[in-house]
Amino acid sequence: MQLDRVELCFPQLPNSSCKKPEPPPSGTVLIYFMLSIISLLTVALNLLVIISISHFRQLHTPTNLLLLSLAVSDVLVGILVQPVEILLKETCWMLGDPMCSLYYVLFFVILTASVGNMVLISVDRYVAICDPLHYFTKVTLKAVTVCVLLCWGFSFSYALTFSFDNLKHPGKYKSCYGECVIQVEGLVDLTVCFLIPISVIIVLNMRVFLVSVSQARSMRSHIAGVSLKLSTTVTAKKSERKAARALGVLILVFLMCYSPFYCFTLTHFTNFTISSTNTILNFLIYFNSCLNPIIYALFYPWFRKAVRFIFTSQMLQPGSRQANIR
């Protein structure tokens, strides 16, 4: 049966064009609307994080620099990745095969950078809790800046290498015109972007947990007859543990959002195809980018105070960069 020309992505190519997707049912439209709202929230919330950390000098700390790098990858998800994924579901790909390959390169850059940022955050958390005496000598702004740049540099290099065949032969794996499909080596991606970094994250955080429990028991055993000096130390320790707890929640949510995608990959050791269909697992990863700023708002008073400065226009006043945010 011959397809009607109006149903084709490229009517001028009736024998090789993909069929236009049918209008989605009302329930699917509602889902897409919710995903669009999540995309807008992802951009807005992460921009608040970027503006806050970039503007206020008091927030220029090594840990916050890692959160800034994570927010950059998250805002890229909301601006570039989520909208394209939504459009891919119900429209034909009209930008050509090279742009399709470049889009997925961007996808892997952001994905790899997010995972790398989480590894760096875990290392920062580990040193802060397990080696606090040397934290400020080991974890400096310069050292963290170098690590962040290396993280993004590796992400770009890995994405280009990983997608080399798709970039060299764009459109090689599509079945018709109007489709955006690439093929990836599932086992390689699983190892580099999940098994290795997740193993590092879990080992470091298990160590942090054990040390935190040990410190809490030690503090409780010496709580009687505490002096003012010791009381100050206890308060500082509690503050450190609270910050570590926030980073722990951040990492836990990250694992919950990323694990399903890579568990699916684990069942496909051979090459598998990524297309505009079956992207629910991808959106779970993208949803993590929206949750991160919400975690900051729940656990970091400085973020809530910075947001108040932004929305009350106090940030525009002279000397606002020196404001007491913490």
For residues 151 and 117, the answer to whether their CB atoms sit within 8 Å is yes
How high is the pLDDT of residue 277?
39
Query: Does 195 have pLDDT greater than 60?
Result: yes
Residue spans per domain, the chain: 27-216+245-322
Least reliable range by pLDDT among 19-28, 106-115, 290-299: 19-28
Give the pLDDT confidence of 292-320 residue by residue, as tens digits. Answer: 999 988 888 899 999 999 998 888 888 88
Under the banding of pLDDT at 50, 70 and 90, the label for residue 27 is low
What's the mean per-residue pLDDT of the chain? 81
Distance CA 68, CA 171 (A): 35
Inform me whether the pLDDT recorded for 192 exceeds 80: yes
pLDDT-wise least confident of 102-116, 144-158, 219-233: 219-233
pLDDT digits (tens, 9 = 90+) for 229-274: 444 444 445 555 666 677 788 888 988 888 887 777 666 554 444 4
- The domain defined by 27-216+245-322 folds into Rhopdopsin 7-helix transmembrane proteins (1.20.1070)
- Listed range (110-114, 122-126, 235-239, 312-316) with the worst mean pLDDT: 235-239
Residue 57 has pLDDT above 80, yes or no: yes
Q: What long-range pairs does 200-208 form, CB within 8 A, spacing at least 24?
A: 200/119, 200/122, 201/118, 201/119, 201/122, 201/251, 201/255, 204/122, 204/123, 204/125, 204/126, 205/122, 205/125, 205/126, 205/248, 205/251, 207/126, 207/130, 208/125, 208/126, 208/129, 208/130, 208/244, 208/248
Residue 142, pLDDT score: 95
Residue 122 has pLDDT above 60, yes or no: yes
Per cent of the chain over pLDDT 70 is: 81
